[in-house]
Amino acid sequence: MKKNLIYLLLSVSLLAFNSCKKSNDAPITDSGSKEHFMPLSVGNSWTYNSDYYGEYTVSVTGTKDMNGKTYFTLSNSLYPGTLSYLRYEGNKLYTYSTVGGTALELLLVDEDATAGQEWLAGKVAQSQLGLYSYNIKYTCKFVKLYETYTYNGNTYSNVREMNLQTTISDFKFGSYYTSLYSAEELAALQTEMENSLQSSAINQTQFYAKGIGYVNQTSETMSALNIDLKTYTIK
């Protein structure tokens, strides 16, 4: 469980961005437009510093069609040969990954959302050999908009603070457990297992600068996800 959550959120969040020359008149339907908070164009790249991993670079390398949708593929110098996937649909930024072998697309950023707005980014069902089942629920929130945001001496304009949380819901035991324990024992065991699963969930706060992308990320539950942008190239 913990490995699956970490894999998903690392694939979601190992990004960061800075900009070069590009027309400000690009239509919002263009995924590479600087009107977006995560401009996607082949050749864009972001170099980050991680508290845990040190320096690494994320690059947009191409596109791939999956499930009738076109995603931009992103490589990460930490994991050669492994790709992550992002796409825009209008002003909505989606990420694609797998959790426990199950495909999952998350609505990561809704650029039309207002400050304080929260939405269900996605949900995936999990089961353990028929012993029990549960859902992993991913919730995003647009916390606030900063006219200027400064971190580690770098100042950015028009920055959105986003929060991504994972929670465990709809936990149910299979027949194996229900045949062995009383209702009272099952209730106590369920609370224990739900708390154990929830303790592995990763929550993080992300900061997106308009026309640039990820500039900073923090996590109270996993220090490896604490990153900040060093340099970037936006084509």
Greatest Cα-to-Cα distance within the chain, rounded to the nearest angstrom: 67
Taking the C-alpha atoms of residue 59 and residue 74, their distance in angstroms, rounded to an integer, is 5
Return the CATH number at 205: 2.40.360
Q: What does each C-alpha distance from 30 to 34, 41, 112, 181 come to in angstroms? A: 9, 9, 16, 57
Domain of 207, in residue numbers: 2-233
Taking the C-alpha atoms of residue 188 and residue 173, their distance in angstroms, rounded to an integer, is 12
Taking the C-alpha atoms of residue 155 and residue 125, their distance in angstroms, rounded to an integer, is 41
Closest CA to 72 of 50, 96, 51: 96
pLDDT along the chain (235 residues), means of 10: 39 34 44 94 96 94 94 95 94 89 90 97 90 94 97 94 94 93 94 91 92 93 88 95
How far does Cα 155 stand from its chain's mean position? 23
Residues 6+ apart with CB under 8 A from 213: 15, 16, 17, 37, 38, 39, 44, 46, 232, 234
**Residue pair 39/27 in contact by the 8 Å Cβ criterion:** no
**Residue pair 198/168 in contact by the 8 Å Cβ criterion:** yes
The dihedral sign for the CA sequence 7, 38, 87, 46: negative
Task: Return the number of other C-beta atoms located less than 10 Å from residue 212's C-beta.
Answer: 25
Write down the residue that tokens 């929550």 correspond to.
Answer: 203
The pLDDT value recorded for residue 224 is: 79
The pLDDT value recorded for residue 18 is: 27
The pLDDT value recorded for residue 141 is: 97
Taking the C-alpha atoms of residue 30 and residue 61, their distance in angstroms, rounded to an integer, is 17
Q: How many domains does the chain have?
A: 1
